Chain A
């Protein structure tokens, strides 16, 4: 793991020599023939390889959507699994073109880390999971607890802030890899595991009797809007990533899915015709094929389909839409209009 960081830092020093003079990432990507996408190494539902070795997950699907927007082929991607520490050097140095790895949008990351964040793909919040045997009902009862937390995340800061604000003591056990930190929690090294609620749900779903033995406490102690990120300095690339995500949200709002998208090609609604590319203009503005939105919906699906497929109630994560419902249904998912 360490060598990864060093390599990334070394890459930041050396590789930038070539990347620094890039003409535009879109041209580079087109001539290369695939996009490079940084994902989580093993977070079921968001980014992890399945039993056949194919990358799956919500974050992964948004990468695939970008590949479809550019190449009309969801397989033209090189996935780079990144740890929490490796992710920023990797995107800064140009090792990956887009970072789609359940990364929380924050001010410092947007500024001094040098990232631009695309629209939020998952509205999350940090929570606590404890063993039911402890009989804890609220996070306010956690004074003196030992807490397992993954290193290098906003989680570590929120945890410290929450206990400070509530005048409670805690003992952190900070481990780098997600798998090891979960192993330590399940072995009983810690009383509490803290992470984003979606992450806790994935962790709980990963062991056989997880749902019966472990409870996620009701307190959500932070806002964790998770979004893909790109480097500063290439506005066209940023636009492409941003509007690729918007396509999936807009499609759900229009009621367009991967199954029925062909019915809309000759729709009566001029808004939909413009959106789907029957009336040209939108694709060209982004520097993409006019049918890019159609392709994304056809090959990847709308936001709702992506959600249900990866983290919805039918999956081991069993997450409700909640904040991630469309704005028309009381959630926060909203996109600026396509015109």
Chain B
């Protein structure tokens, strides 16, 4: 670090106010100004030309349509929505649906990917070959085709709703998806949520304190077990204190469909499974390469120092493997999020699907497309920011 503050020897010395293109500093500035100017000019041309043409064809512009009534229905929504709500709220429903499938997909794909990646390195011939076959088959079939496959599996493979499979009391499996009993409304669920948040905060504080103490005295405090106890225990205490309600909202076949309970729709199942399986194959390869990248000598050295195998993995192998794993892993997370736009093909109401309906009803294609682009850009940049922060945190500190 200290070596970077070097005196600027040999760089151009300002010789008065003479302006010459032979001066590298002047030249650099001139070129940059020219490039920026050209970019601004092209941007201005595209925008003004578009606005001009839209006005000439008397096509409406602007985002005021977001406040108008949407008047179309959406099959799945995390927040309350009815056709009486605005286009703006409909779009928000779409964004939340995209986030839902992306976040759950990223978590599942990471878990499956890690397992498969490790399995591929296994010394067990069968396990290693099975993992290889999984990776090679899954990552070489286009994701859209996989989505159609999973969707067809549910809509053609399962029985119609009136003869739904009933493997457990209250659990129904049919072309309408998986329907399970949901806990009835009760204030205790809110209390448990609060208890969970409190437990997480206390655990983080405990970890901070334990680290400081270890630095000071060298004593190790079992943060992991205490934290686990807190996170599981506090909500449990809240549940028992709230009277431990056991009432369930059981699904009942009424008319065309089941009423009550929680539903995992075939569309959500197909998009989630498709994205998870597809991305997990790539993550498996990323994990495998990360582990191989750490020299076997590191393990031997750690053992020679007397470290048990747990800390060897945690303190020696993983930090070095993660250095290789995290950057490509970020790309895979971004891919999964962006691939969720394929949901359109199988009817999962993600943000592209809803923006498409909106732009078709209002005719404002440019606004709709900018909203889609803006949303994906924000989601993707958030993921990269988080992953970059994480990458920096786990990076090896060279002393």
Contacts and interface: CB of A to CB of B under 8 A. Distances in A.
Looking at A84, A85, A161, A163, which has the most chain B CB atoms within 10 Å of its CB?
Answer: A85
Given A13-B366, A151-B360, A187-B155, A92 B59 contact: yes
A113 B73 contact: no
Given A16-B49, A187-B156, A153 B360 contact: yes
Given A9-B366, A9-B369, A174-B349, A146 B59 contact: no
A125 to B, nearest CB: 18
A152 B357 contact: yes
Contact of A233 (B57, B359, B363): B57
Interface stretch (A70-78, A104-112, A239-247, A274-282): A104-112
Interface in A74-92: 84-85, 88-89, 92
Given A144-B255, A164-B83, A159 B73 contact: yes
Interface stretch (B102-110, B190-198, B233-241, B338-346): B338-346
A143 B259 CA distance: 12
A78 B120 CA distance: 53
A233 B56 contact: yes
B75 A174 contact: yes
A255 B54 CA distance: 44
Contacts of B346: 175, 180
A118 B78 CA distance: 43
Contact of A173 (B75, B255, B362): B75
A12 B344 contact: no
A299 B279 CA distance: 55
B257 A85 contact: no
Given A89-B365, A174-B347, A231 B256 contact: no
A172 interface: yes
B72 interface: yes
B154 to A, nearest CB: 8
Interface string B359-374: 1111111100100000
Given A20-B49, A151-B353, A9 B365 contact: yes
Contacts of B161: 188
B293 interface: no
A112 B266 contact: no
A301 B360 CA distance: 34
Contact of A20 (B53, B71, B345): B53
B372 to A, nearest CB: 9
A42 to B, nearest CB: 15
Nearest to B82: A164
A191 interface: yes
Interface in B148-175: 152, 155-156, 160-161, 175
B357 A16 contact: no
Contacts of B71: 157, 160-161
Interface residues of B, number: 51
A9 B366 CA distance: 6
B387 interface: no
Given A9-B365, A17-B49, A145 B56 contact: no
Contacts of B353: 151, 174, 176
Nearest to A87: B360
Contacts of B365: 5, 8-9, 12, 88-89, 92
Interface in B210-257: 254-257
Contacts of A153: 360
A223 interface: no
A230 to B, nearest CB: 11
B267 interface: yes
A32 interface: no
A158 to B, nearest CB: 9
B60 A112 contact: yes
Contacts of A175: 344-347
A253 interface: no
18 contacts: A5-B365, A6-B369, A85-B359, A112-B362, A113-B363, A134-B256, A142-B256, A145-B257, A152-B361, A160-B73, A173-B75, A174-B347, A174-B353, A175-B346, A176-B356, A180-B346, A188-B155, A233-B56
Given A160-B73, A175-B345, 15 more contacts: A9-B365, A13-B46, A16-B50, A17-B49, A88-B360, A113-B362, A114-B54, A144-B259, A151-B353, A152-B356, A156-B72, A164-B83, A175-B346, A187-B152, A189-B266
Interface of B: 46, 49-50, 52-54, 56-60, 71-75, 83-84, 152, 155-156, 160-161, 175-176, 254-257, 259, 266-267, 341, 344-347, 349, 352-353, 356-357, 359-366, 369
